[in-house]
Homo-oligomer: A and B are copies of this chain.
Amino acid sequence: MKSVTIPPASVARLPLYLYALETLQSEGMGTISSEILANRVNVNAAKVRKDLSFLGTHGVRGVGYDSAVLGQEIREALGLTRDFGVVIVGIGNLGAALASYDSFGAARFHIVGLYDTNPEKIGTRIGDLEVRHLRHLAADVAEHDVEIGIITTPTAVAQEVAQQLEDCGIRSILNFAQTVLHTENAAVRRVDLSTELQILGYYLRSDRG
Contacts and interface: CB of A to CB of B under 8 A. Distances in A.
A39 to B, nearest CB: 8
Given A105-B178, A180-B42, A205-B78, A189 B199 contact: yes
A86 interface: yes
Contacts of A18: 198
A180 B199 CA distance: 18
Nearest to A108: B201
Interface stretch (A62-70, A93-101, A136-144): A93-101
Interface residues of A, number: 60
A74 to B, nearest CB: 9
B203 A196 contact: no
A185 to B, nearest CB: 9
Interface string A156-182: 000000000000000110100011101
A147 B179 CA distance: 26
Given A96-B97, A180-B41, A79 B201 contact: yes
Contact of A198 (B14, B182, B193, B199): B14
Interface of A: 3, 5-6, 11-12, 14-16, 18-20, 40-42, 77-80, 84, 86, 93-94, 96-98, 100-101, 104-105, 108-109, 147-148, 171-172, 174, 178-180, 182, 187, 189, 191-207, 209
22 contacts: A3-B209, A5-B206, A15-B192, A16-B195, A20-B180, A77-B202, A79-B205, A79-B206, A84-B197, A98-B193, A101-B193, A104-B197, A105-B178, A105-B194, A105-B198, A108-B201, A147-B204, A148-B197, A174-B193, A187-B203, A187-B204, A189-B200
